[in-house]
A and B are shown apart, each in its own frame.
Chain A
C-alpha cells in the first residue's frame, strides 16, 4: 500500500499489486495454449505501456521508448504460462489426460479443474471412495493413469483431444499479506514488472524498456528464447518465483516468505548484472537475499542469456510456497520488493549506471 502511495505518478495506473494479480488470474493460459490469454493481456498491458505487441508464439510485449535514437534496451521477462493438463482421450465419458509442465500427481485427486473447451467446462478429477480403500492403499500416491476428469458427461463428452485444462482456483487473501492462487508462478512476477513500470511513469530514462510476458516457460523456457531474439536487448532481467520455506522442505533450498527479493547469482546470471542488482538493493535498503544457482536456474534466464550474441542477464525471484499446486502462496511484500528493485535499478541504470 505504501509504495502505491509514494510512487503514484501522474498518469499512472496506480493499481495495487494484489489487484493486478487478481486480474491476471482471471485468464487461464496453460503452457502452449496462451494465445487467448495473450490477446486479453495485450489490451490489459496497454494500460501500462504506450505500445504493445504480440508474436506468433503467444508472447506479449509492452514497449516503453525513451525517445532517443539507437537507445539501448532492457528486457524484463516474466512468463505468462501456467502448468496444466491436456486431454489425451476419453474413456466412457471420462477424460484421460497428460500433464503440461511439472505437475505432481499427488495434488490431483478430487481437484477441481476447468476444461478450456469452447465454452469451458467445469470438471473434477476422479478419486476412489475411501470406503473401498484400505489404509495401505491410502499410503501410496495415485498414479496419473488411474485418474480421469469427470465433466458430468453421460456418454460422449464432446471434448476434443488436445484440449487444455487448468486448475480452478481464484485468488484468496490469507492473513499477514499472503495471497494464495493457482499460477502465481509466474503471475506474481508479471505483476511486479507491471507495478514497476507503473511506478516509472513520468520518469525520464535514456534507454528503452520492453517487458515480455513470455509463453511456454514450463515446457522448457521456449517463449523467452524467441522473445529475446525479437527484442534483441542489451540487458535482461528475468523475474520468476523461487521456493518459499514450508514445513518439510529442506531449508537450504528455500527462502523465507517475507525476506524480500531473491537475487540470482551464478553462471546463469551475468555477474555484472547480479552485482548491480545487489548493490542497488543494498543502497535502497530493499529486503533481499542471494539465490545461488550452480548451473541452470530453472528459469527463462537460461535461454535468454545465450540468445544471438548473448544478453547480460539478471534474475530476480519471489519466494513462493507450494509451487505447482492450485494453492501457490506468496507474500505481497516480496512481490513489492521486486517491483521496487526493478524501479530503483532502472533509475540507477539510467543515471550513469550504464557502465553496464
Chain B
C-alpha cells in the first residue's frame, strides 16, 4: 500500500491535467479489469466483475486530480506569474519548490528577504500578485522557450515517512483514495463494481457530474482525504478530525448530507470489525459526493475518508493505519450482500 501510494503521490496531476495519473492507473488495472473506458472530460471507468451482479449497481470513486499551479503570464524579466488550481492558501507556497509543465522545469517561489521588509509587511501575507516563480530565466524570450501560459505545475515535495505510522507527501488528497481503489480492483469481489477515477474534484467536483450520469448507479461510495486540524493551534470542534483515529464516515459536509442508512451501515461494519471510525466535528469541505448524490434521480451516497493534516499544502500528512482502515471498511462495504445494502 505504501509503495503504491508513494508512486501515486509523486505523479503530477493538477485538476485539468490528470493525464499522467490516468495513464498510471490504466496500466495498473489492466490485468485485473474487465472493462476500462474513458470519457471526454477525462474520468477513467474500471469495471471489475464479481461473483454476482447487483440489481442496484454500486459505484466507487476517488479523484485523481490534486491542487496545483497554473502559469498565467511570463514577465519581461523571465519570472512566471501564476494562480492556484484548487483551494490553496497562498501562504503555504512561499519558499517552496515547484515543477512546471510536462518537462518538469524546476522553479522556486521566493519571498523578498526579511532584511528588506518592514514590520508592517511581515504582518501581512504577500498577495498572490506579489508572488512569482523563478526558473532562473532572466528574459521573457528564454523563459518562453520552456514554459507557456496555461502550463500546469505542482509542488516539488518528496514522499517521506514521518514518525512510525505517518507519511508526508503532496497530493495525498486524493491519491490515498485512488490507492485504496487500486487495491480493491486487484481483489476478488462479491459483486460487479464500477470504480471511477474522477477528474477536477478540486475545482468543483466536476468530473463526478458526468461520471455519475454515465454509470447511473443506485449507490455510491466516495473515497477521499479530508481536512484534519488536530494541531495545537486548533481546539475542540475546530480540530475537525484526528490522525490515527480511523476512517471518517461521511455524515455531512459543505456539499452533501450523506445517506443515513449507509452511514449506519458503515458504522455497524466498523464496529463489528473492530475498526476505528470517526465523524468530522465541523461541516467543512466537500467531495465528489456533492455531484454524485444529486445525479439523475438521486444516488444514495456515502463516503470514507482519510484524515489529512496540512491538506492542500505541499506537505500533507496522513496516518497509514487510517488508510488501511478505509481499505478494510470499503472492502466490507462493496462486498455487502444486496439485501443488506438495499435495506
Physical interaction between A and B: yes
Q: Which residue on chain B has the smallest CB distance to residue A123?
A: B162
Residues of B within 8 A of A111 (CB): 95-96, 315
Bitwise, A132-173 to B at CB < 8 A (1) or not (0) is: 110000111110001110111110000000000001010011
18 A-B pairs (CB sep. < 8 Å): A109-B313, A126-B233, A128-B234, A130-B87, A132-B282, A133-B89, A148-B231, A150-B162, A150-B309, A169-B97, A174-B106, A174-B135, A176-B136, A176-B137, A243-B116, A246-B134, A249-B116, A327-B96
Contact in complex: B122, A91 (CB < 8 Å)? no
- Tell whether B205 is near chain A: CB-to-CB under 8 Å: no
Contact in complex: B164, A152 (CB < 8 Å)? yes
Contact in complex: A175, B95 (CB < 8 Å)? no
Contact in complex: A106, B138 (CB < 8 Å)? no
Besides A131-B311, A323-B115, 4 other A-B contacts (C-beta < 8 A): A110-B92, A152-B161, A248-B126, A325-B113
5 closest Cβ pairs, A-B complex: A152-B163, A174-B136, A322-B110, A152-B162, A178-B136
Within 8 Å by CB of A124, from B107, B165, B240, B315, lies B315
When A122-B168, A126-B233, A128-B234 are in contact, do A106 and B97 touch as well, CB less than 8 Å?
Answer: no
Within 8 Å by CB of B116, from A126, A138, A147, A250, lies A250
Contact in complex: B310, A124 (CB < 8 Å)? yes
Within 8 Å by CB of A154, from B106, B165, B233, B314, lies B165
Q: Which residue on chain B has the smallest CB distance to residue A167?
A: B95
Contact in complex: B126, A106 (CB < 8 Å)? yes
When A127-B89, A154-B163 are in contact, do A102 and B114 touch as well, CB less than 8 Å?
Answer: yes
Bitwise, B81-100 to A at CB < 8 A (1) or not (0) is: 00000011111101111000
- Tell whether A43 is near chain B: CB-to-CB under 8 Å: no
- Tell whether B39 is near chain A: CB-to-CB under 8 Å: no
Residues of B within 8 A of A243 (CB): 113, 115-116
- Tell whether B228 is near chain A: CB-to-CB under 8 Å: yes
When A102-B114, A106-B122, A176-B142 are in contact, do A131 and B317 touch as well, CB less than 8 Å?
Answer: no
| A77 CB to nearest B CB, Å | 20
What is the count of residue pairs linking A and B with beta-carbon distances less than 8 angstroms? Answer: 222
- Tell whether B297 is near chain A: CB-to-CB under 8 Å: no
In angstroms, Cα B313 to Cα A147, docked, is 15
- Tell whether B166 is near chain A: CB-to-CB under 8 Å: yes
Contact in complex: B113, A329 (CB < 8 Å)? no
When A122-B162, A322-B111, A326-B95 are in contact, do A247 and B132 touch as well, CB less than 8 Å?
Answer: yes
Bitwise, B65-84 to A at CB < 8 A (1) or not (0) is: 00000000001010100000
| A268 CB to nearest B CB, Å | 16
- Tell whether A33 is near chain B: CB-to-CB under 8 Å: no
In angstroms, Cα B157 to Cα A246, docked, is 24
When A150-B309, A176-B137 are in contact, do A91 and B114 touch as well, CB less than 8 Å?
Answer: no
When A109-B89, A325-B94 are in contact, do A174 and B244 touch as well, CB less than 8 Å?
Answer: no
Residues of B within 8 A of A176 (CB): 136-138, 142
- Tell whether B238 is near chain A: CB-to-CB under 8 Å: yes
When A128-B231, A132-B227 are in contact, do A153 and B94 touch as well, CB less than 8 Å?
Answer: no
When A141-B123, A152-B317, A175-B146 are in contact, do A327 and B109 touch as well, CB less than 8 Å?
Answer: yes
- Tell whether A202 is near chain B: CB-to-CB under 8 Å: no
Contact in complex: A122, B112 (CB < 8 Å)? no
How many residues of chain A are within 8 Å of chain B by beta carbon? 67
Bitwise, B213-254 to A at CB < 8 A (1) or not (0) is: 000000000000001110111100010100010000000001
Residues of B within 8 A of A127 (CB): 89, 91-92, 310, 313
Residues of A within 8 A of B75 (CB): 247
Q: Which residue on chain A has the smallest CB distance to residue B116?
A: A249
Q: Which residue on chain A has the smallest CB distance to residue B312?
A: A130
In angstroms, Cα B107 to Cα A254, docked, is 21
Contact in complex: B91, A109 (CB < 8 Å)? yes
Within 8 Å by CB of B108, from A131, A132, A258, A329, lies A329
Contact in complex: B114, A140 (CB < 8 Å)? no
Contact in complex: B312, A129 (CB < 8 Å)? yes
Contact in complex: B231, A94 (CB < 8 Å)? yes
- Tell whether A295 is near chain B: CB-to-CB under 8 Å: no
Residues of B within 8 A of A154 (CB): 163-165, 244
Bitwise, A221-253 to B at CB < 8 A (1) or not (0) is: 000000000000000000000010011111001
Contact in complex: B165, A175 (CB < 8 Å)? no
Contact in complex: A107, B232 (CB < 8 Å)? no
In angstroms, Cα B113 to Cα A92, docked, is 33
- Tell whether A112 is near chain B: CB-to-CB under 8 Å: yes
- Tell whether A288 is near chain B: CB-to-CB under 8 Å: no
- Tell whether B284 is near chain A: CB-to-CB under 8 Å: yes
Contact in complex: B116, A104 (CB < 8 Å)? no
- Tell whether B40 is near chain A: CB-to-CB under 8 Å: no
Identify the interface centre among B122, B124, B163, B284: most chain A CB within 10 Å of its CB.
Answer: B163
Residues of B within 8 A of A324 (CB): 113-115
In angstroms, Cα B230 to Cα A91, docked, is 12
Q: Which residue on chain B has the smallest CB distance to residue A323?
A: B113
Within 8 Å by CB of B111, from A107, A147, A148, A174, lies A107
| B67 CB to nearest A CB, Å | 9
Residues of A within 8 A of B161 (CB): 122, 152
Contact in complex: B105, A153 (CB < 8 Å)? no
| Contacting residues of chain B (255-294) with chain A, CB-CB under 8 angstroms | 282, 284-285
- Tell whether A20 is near chain B: CB-to-CB under 8 Å: no
Residues of A within 8 A of B229 (CB): 128-129, 132
Residues of B within 8 A of A257 (CB): 138
Residues of A within 8 A of B309 (CB): 124, 126, 129, 150
Residues of B within 8 A of A187 (CB): none
Residues of A within 8 A of B317 (CB): 124, 150, 152
Contact in complex: B227, A322 (CB < 8 Å)? no
Contact in complex: B91, A138 (CB < 8 Å)? yes
Bitwise, B298-329 to A at CB < 8 A (1) or not (0) is: 00000000000111111101000000000000
- Tell whether B117 is near chain A: CB-to-CB under 8 Å: yes
Contact in complex: B315, A329 (CB < 8 Å)? no
Contact in complex: A325, B284 (CB < 8 Å)? no
In angstroms, Cα B122 to Cα A121, docked, is 29
In angstroms, Cα B146 to Cα A246, docked, is 20
Residues of A within 8 A of B343 (CB): none
